[in-house]
Amino acid sequence: MATTTKPSESDLEGGSRAILHNRRFLTCRECGWVHYVMTAEEKAANDRLLERYQLSAPERHLYESAFRQCLRCESPTSAFAAAQGRDLARVAGHIVTPVVVDGEVGTN
């Protein structure tokens, strides 16, 4: 068995286990909040769900920007770092929120 930095399955609550399996996690450098990276497919599915609401331009902007900043302190995702083992241990203790990032963010 290869060792990984992922939290053990028992650390995650049932409902989030499927969502968080094999995810890339990013940690906000400002406040330490952990986010998971939404795939382009998931983002597209989310966008389709919103189409029925006919968002105005400002509403649309709010919706888009929510995926590009820290939920907690609103730092931009471009400043996020790849989550480390100790960050992932904290994932079990709070809601992990999705972000959409460019491919290179968090790979440094």
Cα distance between residue 8 and residue 71, in whole Å: 25
For residues 57-86, which are near Zn ion according to CB under 5 A?
70, 72-73, 75
What is the pairing mode between strands 97-99 and 34-37?
parallel
| CB closer to Zn ion out of 12 and 28 | 28
| Sheet arrangement for strand 25-27 | 81-82, 25-27, 34-37, 97-99
Q: How far is the CB of 50 from Zn ion (least distance, A)?
A: 24
34 near Zn ion (CB under 5 A): no
Total residues contacting Zn ion by CB under 5 A comes to 8
- Interface segment toward Zn ion; rule CB under 5 A; list 29-37, 46-54, 83-91, 94-102: 29-37
Q: What is the largest CA-CA distance in the chain?
A: 51
- Interface segment toward Zn ion; rule CB under 5 A; list 1-9, 10-18, 25-33, 39-47: 25-33
Residues within the interface to Zn ion (CB under 5 A):
28, 30-31, 33, 70, 72-73, 75
